[in-house]
Amino acid sequence: MNSNSVSSRIIVIAIILCLSASTAFAQVTGHHPPESSHPKQCETLTGIDVLQRDQFKQLDGQRVGLITNHTGINRKWISTVQLLNEAKNVQLVALFSPEHGFEGKLDVAKINDARDSDTGLKIYSLYGKTRMPTDEMLNGIDTLVFDIQDIGTRFYTYISTMGNVMKAAAKHDIRVVILDRPNPINGIDVQGPVLDAGSESFVGYHRIAVRHGMTAGELAKMFCAELKLHLDLEIIEMEGWSRSSFFDATGLPWINPSPNMRSLTQALLYPGVGLLETTNLSVGRGTDTPFEIIGAPYIDGVQLARKLNAVGLDGIRFVPIRFTPESSKFKNEQCGGINFIITNRKSFHPLKLGLELAHTLRLMYPDAWETKSLNRLLSHQKTFEALQAGTPVDVIRANYKNDLQDFQSRREQYLIY
């Protein structure tokens, strides 16, 4: 036997011994190697990919108004605007844009109409003088097509724009087609209080949980049924998407859906951290890492991190920091605060984080932290009052458990995937 064969046998025996030792250690200690952090890749086709593959037959002969922004692209980065404009069997006649504008760059309270330089079409702003398409805007349109990437949180307003478009279409007997896209923070986890009846607004369009676990197409089905809209609605369904998948398992290109939503990590933190941004707290706007940090001039980051780490929330740790926002809340003021480090996104619960943050800030800074506007995005009076009273988070969650279970039952009939 040559030396190479001997060496190979020694290596194989060593590997077997190592594996046996690892198995024995796991059996004794109960500890197992961590699950691979690399998600299994799928080849997801979004609604626009499916529509393009089918040669736009679902829109054959239609005069189309397209509600979209910079996130409306196919797998090859080609915009839905370009694809519909070049489709020989479709006539694209108008464009509509949501909050942050057609290019997704604006972070202002009101956006004016514009004109698309590539197609010459007028872009009607649905975040300006009106948030509902008017009679004039809809003149001559047979079908309204919606193609915008949502991020899975109730108060992210793109789904509110979709709902308003559906209401206007029902009024004018115009067909609506939703080009579906993934819920980037998965379509299984459903968390947080359900919006109080009567509290509906542009940042709380319908009675759904904060983290709703639905796609835009599924929400459109729910809106149509529960708002009793007499509407010709068609969902162009995705192919190859699994409900349990986060966005990085889809194989699709990531485009920041809005100026301060710059990563999948931020999208996952947003349902919890975003709840607090109506208070006198910086959530990182004006920094490079919005929603990955919070702070204020009155906060001691070391003490806050120590208290939150002691709670032992699954899948997240807290690091004390100081930062100075260049814009937005506390512009040019040094803030003490914390950086959120997600250690396991499968076990991380953003709504537990948001509620625990509110609970801890209320106890630590009862006078400095202003909570009068906290319920604007929370939209759940009992939870708001409980946070004001310093009620433990486990009790708060138990109080809205029944409503959350009811929502989960309601949503089942609208799920597509």
Q: What pLDDT, in 10s, does the model give residues 249-299?
A: 999 999 999 999 999 999 999 999 999 999 999 999 999 999 999 999 999
pLDDT at 124: 98
Percent of the chain with pLDDT strictly greater than 70? 90
Please give the Cα distance from 167 to 169 (Å, whole number).
5
Q: Report how far Cα 136 is from the mean position of its chain's Cα atoms.
A: 32
Phi, psi of 345 (to 5 degrees): -75, -20
Paired residues of 124 in beta bridges: 96
User: What is the value of pTM for the model shown?
Assistant: 0.90
Longest dimension (CA), the chain: 88
Asked if 358 contacts 350 with a C-beta cutoff of 8 angstroms, the reply is: no
Chain region(s) in the chain for CATH 3.40.50.12170: 47-254
Asked if 298 contacts 330 with a C-beta cutoff of 8 angstroms, the reply is: no
Asked if pLDDT for residue 411 goes beyond 80, the answer is yes
pLDDT at 25: 33
pLDDT bucket at 24, cuts 50 / 70 / 90: very low
pLDDT in tens, 195-210: 999 999 999 999 999 9
The amino acid occupying position 145 is V
Chain region(s) in the chain for CATH 3.90.1150.140: 264-379
Please give the Cα distance from 148 to 84 (Å, whole number).
15
3-state DSSP assignment of residue 103: coil
pLDDT at 5: 41
- The HSE-up count of residue 359 (CA atoms within 13 Å, CB side) is 20
Asked if pLDDT for residue 55 goes beyond 50, the answer is yes
Record: fold of 47-254: Rossmann fold (3.40.50)
pLDDT in tens, 298-342: 999 999 999 999 999 999 999 999 999 999 999 999 999 999 999
Asked if 335 contacts 282 with a C-beta cutoff of 8 angstroms, the reply is: yes
Asked if pLDDT for residue 343 goes beyond 80, the answer is yes
Looking at the domain covering 264-379, what would its CATH class be? Answer: alpha beta
pLDDT at 42: 76
Q: What is the mean pLDDT of the chain?
A: 92
pLDDT at 72: 98
Burial code (b: 16+ CB inside 10 Å, e: under 16) for 290-324 equals: bbbbbbbeebebeebbebbeeeebebbebebbebe
The runs of H, that is alpha helices, within 347-392 are 350-364, 375-378, 381-388
Asked if 345 contacts 368 with a C-beta cutoff of 8 angstroms, the reply is: no
pLDDT in tens, 362-391: 999 999 999 999 999 999 999 999 999 999
The amino acid occupying position 388 is Q
Asked if 66 contacts 94 with a C-beta cutoff of 8 angstroms, the reply is: yes
